[in-house]
Amino acid sequence: MGKFKFPTAYTILFVLIALVAAMTWIVPAGKYQMVTNAALGKEVPVAGTYAPVEAQPQGITAVLLAPIDGLYNHQTYTAGAIDVALFVLIIGGFLGVVNKTGAIDAGIERVTTRLNGREEWMIPILMALFAAGGTIYGMAEESLPFYTLLVPVMMAARFDPLVAAATVLLGAGIGTLAQPLTHLLPSLLPTPQGSPLLRAFCCVLFCC
């Protein structure tokens, strides 16, 4: 009996897509009545209006087109998550080029040499930088490349690899949770009651 090999990310994603498609044949379909909310500028569901509708089971064609539709909907011609996918691909290529130059190894050696005996200071400093990124521009999926960069740095400083993951995740997460300066603020702050933008901003800044 061969040794078990954990499936790749692509295999897991395709299995999940197939499972979701199979559920469309089992789970009853239904929908809410939608009404346009002028304050939000989008349609919102009306409470208590849920009603069953005719099911639309998804077949093999839908399963095969699902990854494409996730990036770009071929029916409505609207963009999906293609910007995030391209960002990850570009950053991955950038890290590959930087790794070939040896800059990462040189940077790791310099950091560990300068902080010899004080390696624990890297954790609060890096967390503060990631928190600043989360506060200013909502750093979330943009932090993915830094996991690859920080793991060898933390291991060279005799820390566990989980410390590197926690530094990025907690730092960026804390900053994203309290982000009064993000570029998404104008679209997030207006409430259904029509609160002025400046008043809502001051409220968020006070809570942060």
- What pLDDT is attached to residue 199? 54
- What pLDDT is attached to residue 21? 92
Rounded Cα–Cα distance for residues 60 and 29 (Å): 19
> Confidence class of residue 193 from pLDDT cuts 50, 70 and 90?
very low
% of the chain exceeding 90 in pLDDT: 6
Of residues 143 and 131, more confidence is placed in: 131
- What pLDDT is attached to residue 176? 79
pLDDT tens digits for range 157-174: 888 889 888 988 988 888
| pLDDT surpassing 90 at residue 126 | no
Average pLDDT in the 87-104 region?
Answer: 77
| In the chain, domain spans | 1-26+51-79, 82-182
pLDDT tens digits for range 30-40: 888 888 887 76
pLDDT tens digits for range 39-81: 767 788 888 888 888 888 988 988 888 888 888 877 777 777 7
- What pLDDT is attached to residue 2? 66
SS3 track for the chain: CCCCCCCCHHHHHHHHHHHHHHHCCCCCCEECCEEEECCCCEEEECCCCCEECCCCCCCHHHHHHHHHHHHECCCCCCECCHHHHHHHHHHHHHHHHHHHHCHHHHHHHHHHHHCCCCHHHHHHHHHHHHHHHHHHHCCCHHHHHHHHHHHHHHHHCCCCHHHHHHHHHHHHHHHHHCCCCCCCHHHHCCCCCCCCHHHHHHHHHHHC
Task: Say whether pTM exceeds 0.85.
Answer: no
